[in-house]
Amino acid sequence: MRDTRPEADAVRRAAILRRPPMQRLHDALRMSEELRDVALSALRAQHPDEPLLSLVARLTGEPMVLGTRRGPIPGR
């Protein structure tokens, strides 16, 4: 279900496409960070006594362990 008229959506899309690609990338990354902050805030409200790493693990579905990493080691 859409709540935006097609004409208004076309204006919005045109405005986005007028922005330089690097600005659009910056905007997308900023929105992603803001959404992550909202999700972490909701988790923090549900689990107020859990440490941040535990909340991030809940958000990502990945265990968060200090001093470890997955994947190749840079430079090797």
Domain boundaries, the chain: 18-60
**Alpha carbon distance 71, 58 (integer Å):** 20
Q: Going residue by residue through the chain, which has 76 residues, state the pLDDT in tens, using 9 for 90 and above.
A: 778 899 999 999 999 999 999 999 999 999 999 999 999 999 999 999 999 889 999 998 888 776 666 666 566 5
Q: Quick count: other Cβ atoms within 10 Å of Cβ 63?
A: 11
Q: Quick count: other Cβ atoms within 10 Å of Cβ 8?
A: 10
Identify the DSSP state of 62: S
For residue 20, what pLDDT is reported?
96
Q: Is 58 helix (H, G, I), strand (E, B) or coil?
A: helix
Contacts of 19 (CB under 8 A, 6+ apart): 27
